[in-house]
């Protein structure tokens, strides 16, 4: 069925919720629910993302609905912005397409005691130092090289393992999703090639949409939550966005090869081969989960080691220890992951496997998995925008638990493909355009900036308005970019 037909079948639930009814497509086991405005839905009319929401609704054991956040756009198997929970007790499956190639691509936010007035005179020096100190670009190795035994310990131990080595503080562990370590990681589930690719990539930024940004808090919307998170208006913060690098890509690639023919073996019919899957409790499902969790731990550690490089850079530029600069971790969240969690579905508490692809966890106040220091206001939810406009710090809301398996959006979402962005940048100087806005942008190549220009993304303010209105997460503070470092 064409995506345009699905747009015609959409039923409006309220101002920011739309339903693809289960009857719209043979094989759908649940409805599709898309969060967005009418204009966003119109933009989806000629694409494949709505088709993917309907496809995911056909997965065995899916509960509730096949969900899509307002940053929805096409991805491999699942759309980016897709959320789906499958029930292992009802034959629920795990699908690598519901996690993606960049396993645990995610973001972490650092706050500081510096104000914009402290940083603005040194902006050029800070940008140059960050570009020099942060390994970025395709295939660029990092400062750390882990022998196989060490790498296996890192894959299973996560950020707590780095703490034991002196590369993380107690607060760095306390302010990571899942404390920087997903239980059940199995280093032995990874191929030799995956281990080889990860040996020198922990502590590297990579390329594409990954970045380090120095930002300033533009405004505060929720003073109580902002106080708990340690942010104030005019304060300088740092946002780090990257994932599991080549190791995670290899884990996904290996899993997709291993799953060829597996759905048929279990009698599973799929509308799209990119949804290759296996029952959660099958040998194949357990093997993927073990490898995926190991890659997720690698990504947490990657962002932690990058945090060390950022802190070291600030020390050099400002001449004070990072602790004296107040460069503390606010939170670190995963964007591409599948996690076994307990949620209420149809009035009962059930254990489900929640796929979040281009979506972030958004647990509310009082939830036991929210760090104790934030438990009265909810989990920090970090939503990067684009390098010319803004990013947002949000807090998880009760509505996320009720309507979206504790999930919210993960970013602005692409509006242009990379090829279209390159065409739109022809004859322009994106770096000069950003400089005119007071933003120092550095990248390994001009192409990287062109592909990631602000116009390539939806306006993050519009996306955040939707999740705020839908009570998936609520606005805490808006942050504007000052320095952008990309691969």
Angle between the N-to-C axes of helices 283-318 and 148-165, in degrees from 0 to 180, rounded to the nearest 10: 50
Task: Name the token pair of 206.
Answer: 């990579």
Per annotation, catalytic residue among 144, 241, 367, 410: 410
Quick one: how many helices (H) and strands (E) in the chain?
A: 17, 19
- Taking the C-alpha atoms of residue 205 and residue 208, their distance in angstroms, rounded to an integer, is 10
- Taking the C-alpha atoms of residue 470 and residue 17, their distance in angstroms, rounded to an integer, is 8
Task: Name the token pair of 71.
Answer: 């940053």
- Give pTM, 2 decimals: 0.96
In 3-state terms, what secondary structure has residue 394?
strand
Separation of CA 350 from chain center: 25
Task: Name the token pair of 134.
Answer: 């942060």
Q: Would you tell me how many other CB atoms lie within 10 Å of the CB of residue 194?
A: 25
Indicate left, alpha or beta for 16 from its phi (over 0: left) and psi (-120 to 50: alpha).
Answer: alpha
Is 472:417 a contact under the CB 8 Å cutoff?
no
CATH number for 106-340+360-486 (one of 1.20.1510.10, 3.90.25.10, 2.30.110.10, 3.90.1860.10): it is: 3.90.1860.10
- Taking the C-alpha atoms of residue 382 and residue 408, their distance in angstroms, rounded to an integer, is 10
Tens of each residue's pLDDT in the chain, 487 residues: 444 478 889 999 999 999 999 999 999 999 999 999 999 999 998 889 999 999 999 999 999 999 999 999 999 999 999 999 999 999 999 999 999 999 999 999 999 999 999 999 999 999 999 999 999 988 889 999 999 999 999 999 999 999 999 999 999 999 999 999 999 999 999 999 999 999 999 999 999 899 999 999 999 999 999 999 999 999 999 999 999 999 999 999 999 999 999 999 999 999 999 999 999 999 999 999 999 999 999 999 999 999 999 999 999 999 999 999 999 999 999 999 999 999 999 889 999 999 999 999 999 999 999 999 999 999 999 999 999 999 999 999 999 999 999 999 999 999 999 999 999 999 999 999 999 999 999 998 888 899 999 999 999 999 999 999 999 999 999 999 999 999 8
Known catalytic membership, residue 241: no
- Taking the C-alpha atoms of residue 230 and residue 236, their distance in angstroms, rounded to an integer, is 11
Positive or negative, the CA dihedral 398, 399, 402, 404 is: negative
- Taking the C-alpha atoms of residue 104 and residue 337, their distance in angstroms, rounded to an integer, is 6
- Taking the C-alpha atoms of residue 431 and residue 440, their distance in angstroms, rounded to an integer, is 8
Tell me how far CA of residue 133 lies from CA of 146, 186, 407, in angstroms: 19, 32, 34
């Amino acid at each position: 069925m064409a995506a345009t037909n699905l747009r015609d079948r959409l039923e409006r639930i309220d101002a920011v919720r739309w339903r693809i009814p289960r009857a719209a497509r043979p094989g759908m086991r649940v409805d599709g629910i898309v969060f967005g405005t009418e204009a966003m839905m119109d933009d989806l009319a000629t694409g494949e993302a709505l088709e993917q929401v309907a496809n995911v609704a056909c997965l065995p054991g899916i509960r509730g609905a096949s969900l899509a956040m307002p940053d929805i756009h096409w991805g491999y198997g699942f759309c980016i912005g897709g959320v789906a929970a499958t029930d292992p007790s009802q034959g629920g499956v795990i699908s690598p397409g519901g996690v993606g190639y960049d396993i645990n691509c995610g973001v972490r936010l650092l706050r500081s005691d510096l104000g914009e007035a402290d940083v603005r005179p040194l902006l050029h020096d800070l940008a140059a130092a960050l570009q020099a100190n942060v390994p970025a670009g395709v295939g660029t190795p990092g400062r750390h090289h882990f022998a196989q035994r060490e790498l296996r310990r890192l894959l299973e131990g996560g950020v707590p393992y780095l703490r034991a080595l002196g590369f993380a503080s107690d607060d760095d562990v306390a302010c990571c999703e899942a404390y920087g370590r997903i239980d059940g990681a199995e280093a032995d589930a990874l191929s030799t090639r995956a281990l080889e690719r990860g040996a020198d990539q922990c502590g590297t930024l990579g390329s594409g949409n990954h970045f380090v940004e120095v930002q300033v808090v533009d405004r505060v919307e929720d003073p109580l939550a902002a106080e708990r998170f340690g942010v104030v208006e005019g304060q300088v913060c740092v946002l780090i966005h990257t994932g599991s690098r080549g190791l995670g890509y290899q884990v996904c690639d290996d899993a997709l090869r291993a799953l060829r023919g597996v759905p048929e073996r279990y009698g599973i019919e799929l509308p799209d081969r990119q949804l290759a899957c296996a029952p959660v409790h099958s040998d194949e499902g357990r093997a993927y989960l073990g490898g995926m969790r190991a890659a997720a731990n690698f990504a947490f550690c990657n962002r932690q080691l990058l945090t060390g490089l950022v802190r070291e850079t600030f020390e050099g530029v400002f001449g004070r220890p990072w602790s004296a600069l107040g460069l503390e971790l606010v939170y670190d969240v995963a964007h591409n992951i599948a996690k076994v969690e307990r949620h209420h579905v149809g009035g009962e508490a059930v254990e489900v496997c929640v796929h979040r692809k281009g979506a972030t966890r958004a647990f509310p106040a009082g939830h036991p998995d929210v760090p104790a220091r934030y438990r009265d206001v909810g989990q920090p939810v970090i939503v990067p925008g684009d390098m010319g406009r803004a990013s947002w710090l949000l807090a998880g809301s009760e509505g996320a638990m009720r309507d979206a398996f504790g999930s919210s959006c993960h970013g602005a979402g692409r509006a242009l493909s990379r090829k279209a962005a390159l065409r739109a940048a022809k004859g322009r100087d994106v770096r000069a355009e950003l400089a005119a806005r007071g933003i120092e942008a550095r990248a390994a190549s001009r192409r990287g900036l062109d592909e990631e220009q602000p116009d390539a993304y939806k306006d993050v303010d519009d996306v955040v308005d939707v999740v705020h209105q839908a009570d998936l997460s609520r606005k805490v503070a808006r942050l504007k970019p000052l320095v952008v470092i990309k691969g």
